[in-house]
Amino acid sequence: MIKQLNKISAFMPPRVSTGIASLDDFLGGGIVEGSAFLFAGVPGSGKSSLLMQLSENFAEQGRKVLYVSGEENFNQIKARANRLSANAPDIYLSDEIKLEELFASIDSENPKVIVIDSIQMLTSNTLKSMAGSVSQTRYCLLELIAKIKKENRILFVIGHATKSGLIAGLLTLQHMVDVLLYLIVNEDGTRTLLSKKNRFGETGKEWQAYMTPSGLKENPESELGEVITKEVNQEQLDILCSKGFFFSSAVKGNLGLIYEKIIGGRLPQDAKITISYKFPKL
């Protein structure tokens, strides 16, 4: 297809909310329709749980979701969905790992959001190589991206990473997607989502979360900070300081953290985070 440049109307596609305000901000204001995401992380980091949670949020907004899994059966996926309270009627499961059959399902079901868990499981009849090979994975992802962009759908693809943080054998995939996100497990068990590439937002940002029995939850200090920074004025701060409180600050990702410590404490463990807030753009 060829179009004359001055005949094309310029507009930014509408953004879709993830249902998590801090995650929307992390992504630059939500998700752009017709975009492709690659979620990378080591096994067990919470990629599938997070995408099932997002699937529930999209479905509650009235967007049909097709969740494709070649690694777990329907009963296993249902068990995770129950744990995450993800039971919206607009979430559909598929175990199709043949690209051509998957495309037929997409055409018949017409989902607005597609989740592939994981891209290493897909194969196409066009190629003779095995599932998980670089040639199969690249070809399947390329065809998926072309289809969702033409039809204005949203695509989430999970890619397994090595412990060093590299997508196992699939480094070229990051150049094909619009957004590349790494989910990291920290030493204390919390999770950090890193934005390595984002055509519609900033890169180098972090989204902090922690794992619970009911899934990933955003860092609670973020919400607390938004309230406290609005309520605490200079007079109140002076009163706190006069009563023997000590304040210091640090930066973690795109969050500014305020630490509070009672003067006289002898160990670093006495300090605890009490407020966190996002720095305004300068």
3-state secondary structure 252-270: ECCEEEEEEEECCCCCHHH
- What is the value of pTM for the model shown? 0.78
Domain boundaries, the chain: 13-218, 221-278
CATH class of the domain whose range is 13-218: alpha beta
Query: What mean pLDDT do residues 156-166 have?
Result: 76
Per-residue model confidence (pLDDT) at position 240:
56
Which pLDDT score is estimated for 57? 97
Question: Do 112 and 63 meet the contact criterion of CB atoms below 8 Å apart?
Answer: yes
Q: Flag whether pLDDT at 276 surpasses 70.
A: no
> Which positions ≥6 away from 1 have C-beta within 8 Å?
none
CA separation for the pair 158, 163 (Å, rounded): 16
Q: What is the pLDDT of residues 220-258, one digit of tens each?
A: 554 433 333 334 455 655 655 555 555 555 555 555 555
Q: Mean pLDDT throughout 43-49?
A: 92
Phi, psi angle pair for 92, to nearest 5°: -115, 140
- Give residue-wise pLDDT tens across range 51-92: 999 999 999 999 999 999 998 999 999 999 999 999 999 999
- When pLDDT is averaged across residues 124-144 and rounded to a whole number, the result is 92
Percent of residues, the chain, with pLDDT higher than 90: 54
pLDDT attached to residue 181: 95
CA angle 16, 141, 23 (to 5 degrees): 30
CA separation for the pair 185, 34 (Å, rounded) = 29
Cis peptide bond upstream of 69, omega within 30: no
d(C-alpha 109, C-alpha 280), whole Å:
42
pLDDT averaged over every residue in the chain: 81
Closest CA to 134 of 169, 167, 162, 160: 169
Q: Is the pLDDT of residue 149 over 80?
A: yes
**Inter-residue contact 240 to 222 (CB < 8 Å):** no
Query: Mean pLDDT throughout 143-164?
Result: 90
Residue 272: what pLDDT?
A: 41
